[in-house]
């Protein structure tokens, strides 16, 4: 059981977005296949373009000097600029608003980081005008982040992160049973049931990467 929780700094954020870029690149065709069933068939390509752009920008940013707030804002702006379709504003807003409550911090503790994730989740809710049970990425992100915050005081933080990954998987599985109510998928109605939402899939990738990265910190 691990009781000493990690602190989150720019290097951890760098690891998260680097691994996300690699994962999206690997799963680009899978995300596109999901999107072809209910959307524009461009989620995989657009996400790959956006996160590869972040990967190219990272070496040009002075991570030793940047505050956490500045780094996540740069990531968000890059995603907003480079990801096409509806996902650009959503992922861009998510990262930009992670640092909403920060000032000049270069490290934060785990509860503060969970609150950062909550701010990013709220940004997606506001920007996308979404609610639960609408078959969107919010259906996966919101319950997972809520679980982390509700269990932040648990002594074994690694187990909490593992449990959060299970919450994300269960939420993702649940989205396949929902009627799509947002975007082009909404026109499908009943035909959209039993099909996975590509945004829910990509945000699940990000959640898993965040949790695995934090579990690896000693």
Per-domain residue ranges of the chain = 8-216
pLDDT band of 96, cuts 50, 70, 90? very high
Cα 52 to Cα 70: distance, rounded to the nearest angstrom: 19
Among 91, 213, 199, CA closest to 164: 213
- 30 Cβ neighbours under 8 A, 6+ residues apart: 44, 201
Alpha-carbon span 131 to 196, nearest angstrom: 17
41 secondary structure, DSSP code: S
User: Fold for domain 8-216?
Assistant: 1.25.40
79 pLDDT higher than 50: yes
CB atoms within 10 A of CB 174: 16
Q: What is the pLDDT of residue 132?
A: 95
pLDDT tens sequence across 32-76: 988 777 567 788 999 999 999 999 999 999 999 999 999 999 999
* pLDDT band of 147, cuts 50, 70, 90: very high
- In this prediction, residue 84 carries a pLDDT of 81
Chain-centre distance for alpha carbon 9: 17
Asked if 12 and 6 count as a contact pair (C-beta separation under 8 A), the reply is: yes
- Which of left, alpha, beta for 144 (phi over 0: left; psi -120 to 50: alpha)? alpha
The mean pLDDT of 146-150, rounded to a whole number, is: 99
DSSP at 164: H
Which has the higher per-residue pLDDT, 109 or 179? 109
Neighbours of 128 (CB within 10 A): 20
Neighbours of 140 (CB within 10 A): 27
Quote the CA–CA distance of 203 and 138 in Å, as a whole number: 9
Residue pair 182/128 in contact (Cβ under 8 Å)? The answer is yes
Q: What is the pLDDT of residue 183?
A: 55
Average per-residue pLDDT for the chain: 91
Mean local confidence (pLDDT), 16-20: 98
Helices (H) and strands (E) in the chain, counts: 9, 2
* Predicted local distance difference test score (pLDDT) of residue 186: 47
Helix residue ranges per DSSP H, 101-197 = 110-128, 138-150, 157-175
């Amino acid at each position: 059981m691990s009781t000493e929780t990690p602190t989150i700094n720019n290097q951890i954020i760098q690891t998260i977005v680097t691994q996300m870029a690699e994962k999206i690149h690997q799963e680009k065709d899978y995300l596109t296949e999901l999107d072809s069933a209910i959307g524009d068939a461009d989620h995989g390509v657009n996400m790959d373009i956006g996160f590869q752009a972040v990967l190219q920008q990272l070496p040009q940013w002075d991570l030793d000097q940047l505050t956490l707030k500045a780094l996540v804002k740069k990531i968000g702006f890059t995603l907003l600029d480079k990801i096409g379709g509806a996902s650009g504003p959503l992922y861009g807003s998510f990262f930009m608003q992670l640092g909403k409550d920060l000032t000049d911090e270069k490290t934060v503790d785990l509860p503060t980081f969970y609150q950062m994730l909550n701010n990013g989740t709220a940004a997606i809710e506001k920007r996308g005008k979404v609610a639960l049970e609408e078959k969107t990425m919010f259906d996966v992100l919101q319950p997972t982040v809520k679980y982390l915050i509700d269990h932040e005081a648990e002594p074994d933080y690694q187990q909490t992160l593992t449990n959060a990954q299970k919450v994300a998987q269960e939420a993702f599985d649940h989205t396949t049973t929902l009627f799509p109510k947002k975007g082009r998928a909404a026109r499908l109605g009943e035909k959209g049931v039993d099909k996975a939402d590509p945004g829910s899939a990509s945000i699940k990738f990000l959640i898993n990467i965040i949790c695995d990265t934090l579990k690896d910190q000693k």
